[in-house]
């Protein structure tokens, strides 16, 4: 029940952070994992560490999700697990949020996962039909990464919150559409996890290059202590603590769990 030997997983945004933690946990359980990241050097390094294949590129490129799904199937001969993890924050209050900024959040957190799932649909439907004809029931998994901002809302995250709430809607719809194909579809909504997205914002802080635009990621230093105080457990979660619930949804332990949104926040509620 704790092994994924023989399974193939595609994890978007898995070159670093939570995505890398998820990929490592799935690989340790025996799965073959396709690594993806916007940064090719990061994707290549993580793939080398885990002994896995990789394909670098932006999931927001309309053609890339098709190429990514095809590369995964070509490399490993199948596709059993999809984790839509790629994303970043670009925050502001609504009066200071541009159309470009809002659309960017929808593109990466909502439209890209939709395209990945659509790209995988032909393989999943055809394979499930063949397995049914052979009298087999093979469970497959989709895990969409959401956020507490998409469940409860968070001031200053109109675009991010909209995208993360939207992906929970995708989860509910796909759980109903793909149940007939023996696919469990669930969301994991993270609170504050220790990644570059929650590092101090400012001098020397992390940035993300999106289509030639450098976007600063992180939070104001004064907010870090406030964030910890908001969490009943009194601290931010680790990457490993974030990856573990995703692994649960990828494992046989969740074979009768579908259409759920699991909040992983240390008990925090906005």
Phi, psi of 41 (to 5 degrees): -65, -35
Structural contact between residues 237 and 21, judged by C-beta atoms closer than 8 angstroms = no
User: How many angstroms separate the CA atoms of 264 and 242, rounded?
Assistant: 7
Q: What is the DSSP pairing of strand 213-216 with strand 140-147?
A: unpaired
Closest CA to 247 of 50, 19, 54, 34: 19
Q: Please give the angle made by the CA atoms of 119, 167 and 35, to the nearest 5 degrees.
A: 50
The closest alpha carbon to 83, from 265, 245, 196, 192, belongs to: 245
Per the CB < 8 A criterion, the answer to whether 54 and 34 are in contact is yes
* Token duo for residue 133: 């004809």
Please say whether the beta carbons of 233 and 197 come within 8 A. Answer: no
Tokens of 72: 């995964």
Question: Dihedrals φ, ψ of 187, to 5°?
Answer: -120, 150
CA angle 173, 25, 258 (to 5 degrees): 20
Exactly one of 76, 160, 181, 256 is catalytic; name it: 160
Active site residue 160: yes
User: Which residues carry out catalysis?
Assistant: 160
């Amino acid at each position: 029940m704790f092994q994924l030997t023989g399974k193939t997983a595609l994890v978007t945004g898995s070159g670093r952070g939570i995505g890398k933690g998820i990929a490592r946990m799935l690989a340790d359980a025996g799965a073959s994992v396709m690594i993806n990241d916007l940064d090719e050097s990061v994707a290549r390094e993580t793939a080398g560490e885990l002994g896995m294949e990789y394909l670098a590129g932006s999931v927001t490129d309309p053609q890339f999700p098709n190429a990514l799904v095809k590369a995964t199937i070509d490399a490993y001969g199948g596709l059993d697990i999809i984790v839509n993890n790629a994303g970043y924050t670009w925050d502001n209050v609504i009066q200071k949020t541009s159309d470009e900024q809002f659309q960017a959040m929808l593109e990466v957190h909502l439209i890209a996962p939709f395209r990945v799932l659509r790209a995988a649909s032909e393989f999943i439907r055809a394979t499930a039909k063949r397995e049914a004809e052979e009298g087999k029931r093979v469970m497959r998994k989709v895990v969409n990464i959401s956020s507490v901002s998409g469940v409860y809302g968070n001031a200053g995250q109109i675009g991010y919150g909209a995208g993360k709430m939207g992906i929970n809607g995708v989860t509910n719809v796909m759980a109903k559409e793909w149940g007939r194909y023996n696919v469990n579809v669930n969301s994991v909504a993270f609170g504050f996890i220790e990644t570059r997205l929650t590092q101090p914002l400012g001098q020397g802080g992390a940035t993300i290059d999106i289509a030639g635009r450098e976007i600063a990621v992180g939070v104001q230093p004064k907010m870090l202590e406030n964030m910890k105080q908001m969490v009943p457990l009194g601290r931010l979660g680790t990457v490993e603590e974030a990856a573990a619930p995703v692994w649960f949804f990828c494992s046989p332990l969740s074979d009768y769990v579908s259409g759920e949104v699991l909040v992983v926040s240390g008990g925090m509620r906005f």
